[in-house]
Each structure stands twice: as C-alpha cells, then as structure tokens.
C-alpha cells in the first residue's frame, strides 16, 4: 500500500511540475514570444519598451528572449527545428530569403491589407525591402547606412580632418599621417571584407550578385586585387594593423586599442560610443578613386517577422504595429533599431533625440541631401554567408603573404563563389 501511494505521489509530483511550467504563462493573458539579437544597450531598451507594450496591451504577456548576433542564428534554427519557433522574430536581410523560402515566416500581406499593421506613413519602397516574391515577410525596423566611425580626438592630435566623402586616395593619405604623427594604426584599411568589396562594386554601378541571384554580379578580378594591394601596402608600411597583432578583445575595444576608425551601421553609434567610451564622428565609406556613382545605400537595419507556426499571429501583428506606429515605443527605444520607417514617427522623435541618435540622424540627412545614396540591392543570395566566410579565408591567405598571383587568386574566388551559389540553388 505504501509503495502504491509512493508511486502515485511521485507521478503526481512530476505531473504537477510539468503542468506548472505550462501554466505559468497563462492566467488569462496570451503569451507572445519575441526573439532578438543585440548589444546590452539594445537589451535594456527593448525590455523597457516591452514593459510599456504590456502596459498598453494588458492581455498580452511578452516572453522576451535575446542573445548576441554570434549565437542568434543557431539558436533560432534550433528553435525552428524543435517546433519552438518564437512568435515574433527579429530578421536580417541576409537570412530573409532562406527563412521565407523554407516556409518559416508568415506572409504579412493580410495584416497590411487589414491595417492591423499600419503602414500609411511608410514609404512603399522601404516596406518592399521585406518582400520575397510577391509577399511581405518582414517589416523593417528602421533604415540606416554603413559609415565610417572615427575618433576626431585622434585626428585633432594629428592636426588632420577627414572629408565627409573621402576617396580611397585621400583616406589612405590620412591613415598614413595619423600613424606617422600619433603612432596609431588603422584596422579598417586592412579590412578588405565583404562590405569594402560591395562598396567598390557599387561605385562602379555593379552589384555583388546578379539580378536573378544565380551568380556574382561581376567577373573582373581587379576589384579584389585593388583591395588586396591596398591592404598589403598598409601592412607593409605599418599604418595598417599587422595581421595577428590585434589586441582588442571586442569590436568596441578596437576603437580604443588598435584603431582610430571602424566601419559600422549608423544605428550602432550609441552602442559603439557606450562600449568604447570615446566620442565618435561619422563620414562616408571611402569612394573608389575612379568611382562613377555613390555607393552608400539606406538599408533596413533589421526586420520583424512573424512565425508561420505561431498560434498568436494577431497579437504578433499588434506588436509589430506598436513598433511601427506608436510614439510610446520610440520614447524608449529611440533609434536603436535605426531611423524609424514611419515618416510621422521620424518627425516625432527628431527633436527629442539624444546626442548620439541625433548625430546618426544628421549623418543620414546629410547623405541624402548630398545625393550620395543609391538604391539598395536585392536581398543577398542564400549562399551569401558562406561566400562571406570564403572571402574571409581568401583575405587571410593574402594578409599572411601566401599568395603570389593576386589576379589568379581573385579569379579563383569568383569561380568558387559561383560554384557555391549554383550548389545552393541546386539544393532547392
């Protein structure tokens, strides 16, 4: 009899435990899981913003989940595979095609038509950046641009100024002088990564990938060779930080320890200023000396998407609408997820921006008023992240001085990238 009671008690205890975790979120409220990536600054702001959201919509109970960029995509994929896809997902341009194409994301067309997500104050071309085919799968959180962030205090020390739209020739000259006068090295000039390649292509009116997304949009090895030669020269003459001489432990430290300049998105200014503890100014990414058009583009910094499997899509749409249109949201988050897409909200927040956000907004304004913005490219191909990693490997070989024939090596990269794209298309 005791044994029987014991067994029943244990089973009951386990059942209670299991039920307890399930019931916790209930209590009349609809649970809404939201997943995002970001820095500590963003986590703090977002948590405060979500408290406000729940205050306004008391029948929704948000279950926030967040991580840094590094672990985000494996976390999300694991949750998707486990049938635990969050209801609202922060999405990136580089992964949008992959996730929408695999049916993870819900089409938002219905919510736009019904007005559940109000977009009357949003420029249609901005909204369309979340399209895959004819369906909208992602609502941009805001627009930003890739710019140089640099330390004016160091330039002052060297008695130099960086033009707002420098050419590579001008930029390299300044980098050299900074090194001569202050001993400070530059990590951007030895970068030669995906962004630098993309900008130099765009300067010549080309895109990383062709319209159809079936191959690279260029075939001239000279684009890579120019970048690599610049890197090798900077390394050799010392103004570029030597390979393996990094002392910074984080991207923020870079601006304190190894460099006076870095290339980041405008909305990241506050995070970089907080993280590095130094004041930063902004300029355009250097132009090719033979540029035929500006390369800078406004890009949706990130998106909100809704999971196709979500049982609370309406509540998810309510949240996205709150993020797009509600001034209460922006009283808290400001421009952390970049300049809001709604014109009304932009107008609302502009007078109240904190100094860092104001600097970011001014830079965006200046970019458009000088006419230095060209249209954003289509979302990257599914193989993009792999091609990005491939470029990193190629750069490493070059920086270690293991490549004799740069042109031949660039050709090899082009060939290998096209093969990766073909493979990923064949897999579908």
Partner 1 sequence: MRRAGNILDHDSVAGYVFIAPFLIGLFAFTVIPFFTSLYLAFTEYNILSPAKWIGLDNFRRMFFEDKLFWTAFQVTFKFALIQVPVKLAFSLLVALALARYSKAMPVYRAAFYIPSLMGGSVAVALLWKQLFAFNGVVNRLLGFAGLPNNTKWLADPNTALGTLIALGVWQFGSGMLIFLSAIKNIPSSYHEAAIVDGAGPVKRFLKITLPMLTPILFFNLVNQLIGSFQAFNSSYLITQGKPLNTTLYYGVHLYNRAFTYYEMGYGSAMAWFMLLIIAALTALVFRSSSMWVYYESDGK
Residue 281 or 380 with smaller CB distance to partner 1: 380
**How many CA atoms, within 13 angstroms, populate the side-chain half-sphere of residue 302?**
21
Residue 243 as a binder of partner 1 (CB under 8 A): the answer is yes
Question: Binding-site residue total for partner 1 (CB under 8 A)?
Answer: 35
Site for partner 1 in 76-105 (CB under 8 A): 77-78, 80-81, 98-99, 102-104
DSSP string, 60-119: EEEEEEEE-HHHHHHHHHHHHHTT---SEEEE-HHHHHHHHHTT-BPP-HHHHHHTSS--
Which among 61-69, 174-182, 352-360, 382-390 is the span making contact with partner 1, rule CB under 8 A? 382-390
Which among 118-126, 141-149, 158-166, 246-254 is the span making contact with partner 1, rule CB under 8 A? 246-254
Q: What distances in angstroms separate CA 240 from CA 157, 184, 246, one per listed residue?
A: 19, 9, 11
**Residue 378 Cβ, how far from partner 1 at the closest point, in Å?**
21
- Classify 199 as helix, strand or coil: helix
Residue 426 as a binder of partner 1 (CB under 8 A): the answer is no
Question: Which residue is associated with the tokens 């039920």?
Answer: 19
d(CA 97, CA 9): 51
d(CA 168, CA 189): 9
**Residue 213 Cβ, how far from partner 1 at the closest point, in Å?**
17
Residue 374 or 385 with smaller CB distance to partner 1: 385
Residue 73 as a binder of partner 1 (CB under 8 A): the answer is yes
Question: Which residue is associated with the tokens 């950046």?
Answer: 129
C-alpha torsion angle, residues 126, 129, 132, 137 (rounded to 10): -70
- Which of 327, 400, 407, 422 is close enough to bind partner 1 by CB under 8 A? 400
Residue 385 or 418 with smaller CB distance to partner 1: 385
Q: Which positions touch partner 1 (CB under 8 A)?
A: 1, 3-4, 6-8, 10-11, 14, 73-74, 77-78, 80-81, 98-99, 102-104, 243-247, 249, 385-386, 389, 393, 396-397, 400, 402, 427
């Amino acid at each position: 009899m005791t044994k029987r009671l014991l067994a029943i008690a244990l089973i009951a205890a386990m059942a209670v435990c299991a039920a307890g975790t399930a019931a916790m979120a209930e209590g009349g409220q609809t649970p809404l899981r939201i997943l995002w990536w970001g820095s500590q600054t963003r986590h703090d702001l977002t948590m405060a913003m979500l408290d406000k959201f729940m205050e306004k919509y008391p029948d929704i109970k948000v279950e926030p989940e967040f991580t840094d960029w590094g672990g985000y995509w494996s976390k999300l994929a694991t949750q998707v595979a486990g049938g635990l896809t969050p209801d609202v997902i922060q999405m990136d341009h580089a992964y949008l095609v992959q996730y929408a194409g695999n049916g993870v994301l819900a089409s938002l067309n219905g919510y736009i038509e019904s007005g559940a997500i109000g977009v009357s104050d949003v420029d249609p071309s901005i909204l369309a950046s979340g399209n895959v085919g004819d369906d909208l799968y992602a609502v941009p959180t805001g627009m930003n641009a890739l710019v140089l962030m640099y330390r004016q205090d160091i330039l002052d020390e060297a008695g130099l100024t960086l033009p707002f739209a420098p050419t590579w020739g001008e930029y390299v000259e300044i980098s050299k002088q900074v090194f001569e006068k202050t001993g400070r090295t530059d990590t951007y000039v030895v970068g030669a990564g995906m962004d630098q390649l993309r900008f130099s292509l765009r300067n010549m009116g080309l895109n990383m990938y062709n319209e159809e997304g079936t191959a690279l949009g260029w075939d001239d090895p000279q684009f890579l060779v120019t970048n690599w030669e610049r890197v090798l020269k900077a390394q050799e003459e010392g103004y570029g930080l030597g390979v393996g001489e990094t002392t910074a432990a984080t991207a923020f430290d870079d601006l304190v320890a190894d460099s006076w300049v870095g290339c980041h998105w405008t909305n990241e200014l506050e995070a970089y200023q907080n993280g590095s503890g130094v004041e930063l100014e902004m300029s355009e990414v250097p132009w090719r000396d033979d540029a035929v058009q500006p390369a800078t583009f406004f890009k949706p910094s990130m998106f909100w998407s809704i999971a196709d499997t979500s049982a609370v899509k309406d509540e998810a749409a309510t949240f996205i609408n709150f993020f797009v249109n509600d001034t209460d949201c922006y009283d808290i988050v400001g421009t952390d997820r970049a300049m809001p897409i709604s014109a009304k909200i932009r107008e609302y927040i502009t007078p109240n921006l904190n100094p860092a956000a104001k600097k970011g907004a001014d830079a965006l304004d200046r970019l458009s008023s000088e006419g230095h913005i060209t249209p954003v490219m289509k979302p990257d191909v599914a193989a993009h992240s792999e091609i990005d990693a491939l470029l990193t490997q190629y750069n490493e070989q070059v920086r270690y001085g293991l490549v004799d024939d740069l042109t031949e090596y660039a050709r090899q990269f082009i060939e290998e990238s096209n093969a990766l794209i073909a493979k990923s298309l064949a897999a579908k």
